A = this chain, B = another copy of it.
Amino acid sequence: MTGRTAVQEPRKLTKKGEATRARILEHAAELIHTNGVAATNNEQLRRVTGISGSQLNHYFPTKESLVVAVIEWQAERVLHFYGGDQFAGFDNIDALRAWVDYYVTHESAYRDGCTLGSLASQIIKSDLQVHDELARVFDQWRDIFRDGLQRMQSLGRINPDANPTQLADLLLSAFQGGMVLTQVQQDVTPLKNALNAAIDHVQTFAA
């Protein structure tokens, strides 16, 4: 996969234009998270935002452009949350445990599944040209864990024989898979078990 998706760079928008675009995106993201990508269309967006079809087309000329923007919108939220102070860049075991606690104790955080994982599962098999964007976002997410683990290593908190990339793939996979199992079982236990075991594994490298 080389280059970006076949989506135009956003034009410069006025302040009002930016606010309109943001309003469309917020509703589109919600519709997609609730009903799925395939079931979301301009007619519904018109209904919930009150913005005309021609305006919608002005901001998002194609379904691809809308879905790419929703991926970016959700990614910004996820990456901001994961990169925020709350988790200290995941450079210690306690921050990883705090991450699990957050999901396990906030039903709203796990009830509806992962916004990006759920988008990914729907898009993977679609013919929407948004795969590069999705791959880029998941790379960035994985790198938040990898960078944290590398810092743990350089600070001597975990041993030199730990493999930060492999452990980061474990943490993000356990989260994504645990979310799927937790949705299926309507019970947070599988997510909690998977994440705690993954972090236990990181802890086996503690110096």
Spell out A's residues near B (CB within 8 Å).
1, 34-36, 38-39, 113, 117-118, 120-122, 124-126, 131, 134-135, 138-139, 142, 163, 165-167, 169-170, 172-181, 183-186, 189-191, 193-194, 196-198, 200-201, 204
A187 to B8, CA, bound (A): 27
Partner of A201, one of B35, B185, B201: B201
For the complex with contacts A118-B121, A169-B189, A170-B194, 9 further pairs of A-B residues with Cβ separation under 8 Å are: A118-B125, A120-B184, A124-B183, A124-B184, A131-B186, A169-B181, A172-B190, A173-B181, A198-B201
Which residues from chain B contact A200 at a C-beta distance below 8 Å?
201
**A193 and B177 contact, Cβ closer than 8 Å, known pairs A120-B183, A183-B124:** no
B35, B36, B177, B196: which contacts A178 (Cβ < 8 A)? B177
A175 cross-chain contacts in B, Cβ below 8 A:
177
Judged by DSSP, the binding face of A is: helix
How many copies are assembled? 2
Is A172's CB under 8 angstroms from B167's CB?
Answer: no
B197 and A167 contacting across the interface, CB-CB below 8 Å = yes
Contact B197 A201 (CB under 8 A): yes
> Which residues of B have CB within 8 Å of A120?
180, 183-184
Among B38, B131, B174, B181, the residue within 8 A (CB) of A138 is B181
Q: Do A176 and B170 contact each other (CB < 8 Å), given the known contacts A38-B39, A39-B38? A: no
Which of chain B's residues have a CB closer than 8 A to the CB of A165?
A: 193
Question: Which 9 residue pairs spanning A and B have beta carbons closest together?
Answer: A177-B177, A173-B177, A176-B177, A121-B121, A173-B194, A169-B193, A170-B197, A201-B201, A173-B178
The residue in A125, A178, A189 that gathers the most chain B C-beta atoms within 10 A of its C-beta is: A125
Inter-chain contacts of A124 with B (CB < 8 A) = 113, 118, 180, 183-184
Instruction: Decide if B185 touches A135 in the complex (CB within 8 Å).
Output: yes
Report how far A174 CA is from B195 CA in the complex, Å: 10
Q: How far is the CA of A131 from the CA of B200 in the complex (A)?
A: 31
